[in-house]
Amino acid sequence: MLLPKFDYHAPTTIDEACSMLGHYGAKAKILAGGTDLLVHMKKRLLSPEQIISLNKIEGLKEAFSQNGTGLVLGPLSTAAYLADSRLIQERISVLAQGASRLGSPLIRNRATVGGNLITARPASDLAPPLLVLSAKVTLKGPRGERTLPLEDFFLGPGQTAVQADEILTKILIPNIQGISAGAYIKLGTRKALEISLVNTACFLELAQDGSIKLARVALGAVAPIPLLTPSVSKILAGVKPKNMDDPVFREAARAAAQESKPITDHRGSADYRRYMVEILTWRTLKNAYSQLMEKV
C-alpha cells in the first residue's frame, strides 16, 4: 500500500526541527526510524502533511558518558546499536538485553529508543530496562527544555507527557555508584518477531556490607503503561540474601505479581500473565543476584 502524500524536511539542528514543528503544528510528525510511523501511515491511521526527519541532525545516534552525570543516550540510538554497544553492555547490560529482544534484526536496525518511548506501547522492550535504570528524558520545545523521570513520562497506551510541539532530545541514565547487575526476560508465544506477553527487567545494586542497596523491578505488557513495582524495592532494600535461592526473592516476585494489572486478550489470560510475572520476576532477580555474587 502506498504512503499518503507529505512534504519531507530534514533539519540539521534540534532548534531548526523545533521551529519547524512549532510552525506546522498538528500537520507535522517527527520521523526517527519509521517502524511505527510509516506503518501507521500505510494503514491510513495517520496522514501527516509534513514529515520532519531527525536523521540529518548530528550526535543523536549514539550513547556517551557525561562526566559526573552518567550516560546520555541519543534518541536516535537504534535497538541494534544498544544491543551491540560495548559501553551499554558493560555499564547497563539490562538495556542491551532488552534491545536484543526487540522485533527482528531488520526492525532493530531501524527502531530507535526515542521512537520506542514516544510510541508508549505497554509491551515495549526498552521501557522496563530504562525504568529500572532510573532514566530521565529531556524534551525540547518552543517553551524551552525540561527533564522528567521516565516513570512520570508514560500516561497510558500510546500516551506520554510529551506535548505535540516537543522533541525528545536525550535520555539520561544516572551514574551507578556500587556493584550492580541487571537482567531482562521477555515471554512471547514464539521466539522471534514477537510482542511481549509479559516482560520483566530488574536492577540490583549492592552496598559495601553486601546488603542490597537498591532494587528496582519493572514490568511490561501487564498494565496500561510499563510499570515500576515499588513494593519489590521496599521488600529487598537493606536485605542481605544468603544466596540466589533466598526466599526473599520469592516474596519480592509475589509482590510484583500483585502490583501487575494484566488483562485477558487473545494472546493470554490475565491469570496466566500474573502468574508469569511472578515466575519471570523471580528469575530476573536470581539472575541479577548471581551476577552480583560473581563480581564481589
| Site of interaction with ligand FAD (CB under 6 A) | 29-37, 39, 54, 75, 102-103, 107, 110-112, 114-116, 118-119, 121, 124-126, 167-168, 193, 195
Min dist CB 28 to ligand FAD, Å, is 9
Closest CB to ligand FAD among residues 103, 262: 103
C-alpha cell at 68: 559526573
Cα end-to-end span (Å), the chain: 56
Alpha-carbon distance of 1 to 168, in angstroms, equals 30
CB nearer ligand FAD, residue 35 or residue 134: 35
Query: Is the CB of 31 or the CB of 215 nearer to ligand FAD?
Result: 31
Cβ-based nearer residue to ligand FAD, 165 or 205:
165
DSSP string, 232-270: HHHHHTT---SSTT-HHHHHHHHHHHHH-----BTTB-H
**In 3D, which of 31, 24, 26, 23 has the Cα closest to residue 3?**
31
User: Taking the complex as a whole, how short is the minimal distance between the CB of residue 237 and ligand FAD, in angstroms?
Assistant: 29
Q: How far is the CB of 211 from ligand FAD (least distance, A)?
A: 34
Closest separation between CB of residue 76 and ligand FAD, Å? 7
What's the min distance (Å) between Cβ of 195 and ligand FAD?
5
Residue 78: CA count within 13 A, CB half-sphere: 17
SS3 at position 76: coil
Nearer to ligand FAD, 112 or 200 (CB): 112
CB-closest chain residue to ligand FAD: 115
User: If you search the block for the grid coordinates 516474596, which residue do you land on?
Assistant: 251
Place of cell 513495582: 229
